[in-house]
């Protein structure tokens, strides 16, 4: 297969798999740590309204979702891309990071969570995914 085409295909697959993992973990988090009573977190409005009632335990799964989504995407890229694996892993991380920045701007999340999420869930996880994917 043409290396450029292979890279494009791998990056698309990695982005989709990472986004699906992110969504799955967020959904799982709602089952493991239910939202505060009286708030519907299935809509953006309900989530924004309930943010002030959330405790630190409510932020564990969103962080894990962001971190694991980025990690698995970078791992797939490192393992299967034809070339420039680190560059592509960091690019996919930048894409997920932009999503994280967007969420921080639209939802009134606590500053401590925003900092931890933006600093540790994206670029470090991309580098870790790259390292793990290259070890095979």
28 and 105 in contact (C-beta within 8 Å)? no
The boundaries of the domain holding residue 48 are 3-134
What does pTM read for this prediction?
A: 0.90
pLDDT tens, residue by residue, 26-64: 999 989 998 888 888 778 788 888 888 899 999 999 999
115 and 89 in contact (C-beta within 8 Å)? no
Average pLDDT, the chain: 93
126 and 89 in contact (C-beta within 8 Å)? yes
Structural domain tally of the chain? 1
């Amino acid at each position: 297969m043409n290396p450029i085409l292979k890279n494009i295909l791998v990056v698309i697959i990695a982005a989709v798999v990472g986004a699906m993992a992110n969504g799955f973990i967020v959904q799982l988090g709602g089952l493991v740590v239910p939202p505060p009573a009286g708030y519907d977190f299935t809509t953006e409005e309900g989530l924004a309204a309930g943010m002030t009632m959330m405790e630190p335990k409510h932020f564990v799964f969103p962080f894990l979702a962001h971190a694991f989504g980025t990690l698995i995407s970078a791992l797939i890229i490192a393992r299967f891309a034809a070339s420039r694996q680190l560059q592509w892993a960091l690019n996919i991380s930048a894409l997920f990071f932009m999503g994280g920045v967007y969420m921080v701007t639209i939802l009134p999340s606590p500053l401590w969570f925003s900092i931890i999420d933006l600093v540790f869930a994206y670029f470090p996880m991309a580098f870790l995914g790259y390292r793990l994917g290259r070890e095979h």
